[in-house]
Amino acid sequence: MTASPPEGFQLFWVTDGFIGHNGPYYWRKDEAGTVDFGFQTDARHGNPNGVLHGGAVLSFIDTILGHAVVNGAGKKCATISLDSRFIGTAAPGAWIGGRTTLRKLTRSFAFVDAEAFEGDKLLVTATAIFRVFDS
């Protein structure tokens, strides 16, 4: 099984489906209201090169980007586009952290950025557009 999350993190409320398979994911909010996310990787997140598979990290990023939109808009959403840049690598077993920035929210669209990291090492940056639904 995986290690415990760092102090202050609590289980992300979606634990089934693909999110449950790739996770579990965790979150915490600091005193300033900033939300941090994370997940504990293990052997299933690795690739044949001995590092984390990009798809495992990108799935995490897509999830936290969607959360930022739902939290900001108070409505359901879906990813329209997701542009990512893989900058660094980490080995399976690493705690991966993530942060999002909601750049612009309109009635129908949201524009968001995210980054994933291991400690202070940046792994992936992403920019996304989400469709925001009325109901």
pLDDT, tens digit, for every residue of 26-60?
999 988 888 999 999 999 999 999 999 999 999 99
Q: Could you give the domains of the chain?
A: 10-132 (3.10.129.10)
Q: What confidence tier does 86 reach under pLDDT thresholds 50, 70, 90? A: very high
Report the percentage of the chain scoring pLDDT > 70. Answer: 99
Would the pLDDT of 62 be above 90? yes
Say if residues 122 and 94 touch (Cβ distance below 8 Å).
no
DSSP notation for 22-68: H--EEEEE-TT--EEEEEE--GGGB-TTSSB-HHHHHHHHHHHHHHH
Which pTM value belongs to this model? 0.92
CA distance 12 to 9: 9
> Which residues lie closer than 8 Å to 119 by C-beta, 6 or more apart?
97
> Which pLDDT score, from 0 to 100, does residue 2 have?
52
> Which residues lie closer than 8 Å to 83 by C-beta, 6 or more apart?
126, 127, 128
CA distance 102 to 30: 17
